[in-house]
Amino acid sequence: MVDDAGQPVWIHPVSDSCTNFKMQTYQGQPVLTWWQGEVASYGVGKRGECPIMDSSYNLIKTVVAGNGLQADLHEFILTNEGTAYLTAYREVVRDLSVVDGPKRGTMLDAIVQEVDVASGAVLFEWHSADHIHLGESYRTYSKAPYDPVHINSIEQTDDGHLLFSARHTWTIYKVNRDTGAIMWRLGGKNGDFSLGPRVRFAWQHDARQHPGSVISLFDDEASPAEANQSRGLFLHVDEAAMRASFMREYRHPKKRLLAGSQGSVQLLADDDVIVGWGALPYYTQFRTDGSLVTDAMLRKGHSYRAFRYPWSGRPTDDPAIAIKRKVPGKLAIYASWNGATDVEHWNVLAGSNSSTLTSVASAPRMGFETEIALGTAAAYVAVQAIDAAGAILGTSRPQKT
């Protein structure tokens, strides 16, 4: 988690890979969620699980897939009903001759589950192998396991059904939540909508519904390349007239960014748009007219999706302090508090013993770790985190100098 300046706010190591880190709501409270596990060479998650943490960074629950499946990296959505939607994959044997594969070949069945968070019971399960014909895929057969569909996002619709984005069929599917039947296809080879100019998309991710019959998505356009630039795309989808019309798009104005995979589009409350450029190490905030608010690059790696949220974190552990002796009689104090969002400045406490410390210096918070120069011969020092109203949020343990 980073602030507007790109400075870390919260750092949490995981044992292997991590994707889809975001804020959601569980039991009426804001929480942090993500997927962690192993990523197979063919781009889906293995041995995955989805943690839920509260605003004090305590683990509330870890959600896994049911029915012997493994939670996949692509999606984890909490609902107001105390359930979660997630993706999973399994290998199945099918006749792949329609895609120039073997008659008994191994392919991936893309699965959507709804599970009860508290009990882990599976309430809904949908298999792409039962509903999507191999002829819909744009994925060229190369080697097992063949991945013809590749579902990468799940969205609840206003009328109680589901939207699935399938990267390898270039299609957004609306699926009946009660029966599992496909209600319509947007895009792809068998699309049910007439598409207006600038609507066609390819290898897309992150399809989301918005009020006013609007759907947003990240149009990767690769890989392989179908265009020279990826874009965030907003469409008006008229389900009565069965027509999809272009509304607006967000391309990077300074760099020709073509993402080979992943990516996201988030519509903020003020109508700004956050685009995460997937496999490329960038995230960008746009005004509605396409002008830039924030344009950032990760120095290492990339982010599957990028989001902006109002987050208030109050850790239950103490602030941290580190001490470095510069020259005799002068110290450098380093103050930090992983995950704390309300620290406005730091007070330094010092004294001859750990139980009689008094305030000797203060400094405004400067990023994740604040350095404070201190000229003192005190034997012990500590730091206090102070909010904008002057209240003490937390105090570190005293450290011997």
| Residue 62 vs residues 35, 84, 119: alpha-carbon distances, Å | 10, 11, 11
Q: What is the mean pLDDT of residues 127-153?
A: 96
Q: pLDDT band for 370, please (50, 70, 90 cuts).
A: very high
- Contact present, 292 and 284 (Cβ < 8 Å): yes
- Per cent of the chain over pLDDT 90 is 93
Return the pLDDT at 204.
98
> How many whole angstroms separate alpha carbon 134 and alpha carbon 268?
37
What is the predicted pLDDT for the residue at 325? 85
CA angle 206–31–66, rounded 5-degree value: 65
**Long-range contacts of range 181-184, CB-CB < 8 Å, 24 or more positions apart?**
181/131, 182/131, 182/132, 184/239, 184/242
DSSP 49: E
pLDDT of residue 401 exceeding 90, the answer is no
- Is pLDDT at 329 greater than 90 in this prediction? no
HEC profile of 267-281 = ECCCCCEEEECCCCC
The whole-number average pLDDT for the span 297-326 is: 95
**Chain segment 29-47, per-residue pLDDT in tens:** 999 999 999 999 889 998 8
> For 54-63, what is the mean pLDDT?
98
Pairs from 122-128 (Cβ < 8 Å, separation ≥ 24) = 122/66, 122/67, 123/83, 124/177, 125/66, 125/67, 126/162, 126/175, 126/180, 128/166
pLDDT of residue 171: 98
Burial class (CB in 10 A: 0-12, 13-18, 19+), 210: exposed
Assess contact for 213 and 237: CB atoms under 8 A. Answer: yes
d(CA 340, CA 383): 14
Q: What is the mean pLDDT of residues 362-371?
A: 96
Q: How confident is the model at residue 214 (pLDDT cuts 50, 70, 90)?
A: very high
How far apart CA 10 and CA 1 sit, in angstroms, is 5
Domains of the chain, start order: 17-297 (2.120.10), 320-400 (2.60.40.10)
pTM over the 0.85 mark = yes
**Is residue 215 within 8 Å of residue 206, measured between CB atoms?**
no
Report residue 1 as tokens: 């988690």
Task: Please tell me the predicted confidence (pLDDT) of residue 15.
Answer: 87
Distance CA 189, CA 184 (A): 12
**Neighbouring residues of 143: CB distance < 8 A, sequence distance ≥ 6:** none
pLDDT tens column, 230-269: 999 999 999 999 999 999 999 999 999 999 999 999 999 9
The structure tokens listed for 287 are 């005004």
Enclosing H/E stretch for 50: strand 45-53
Per-state percent for the chain, helix, strand, coil, to nearest 5: 5, 50, 50
Indicate the pLDDT class of residue 144, thresholds 50, 70 and 90. confident
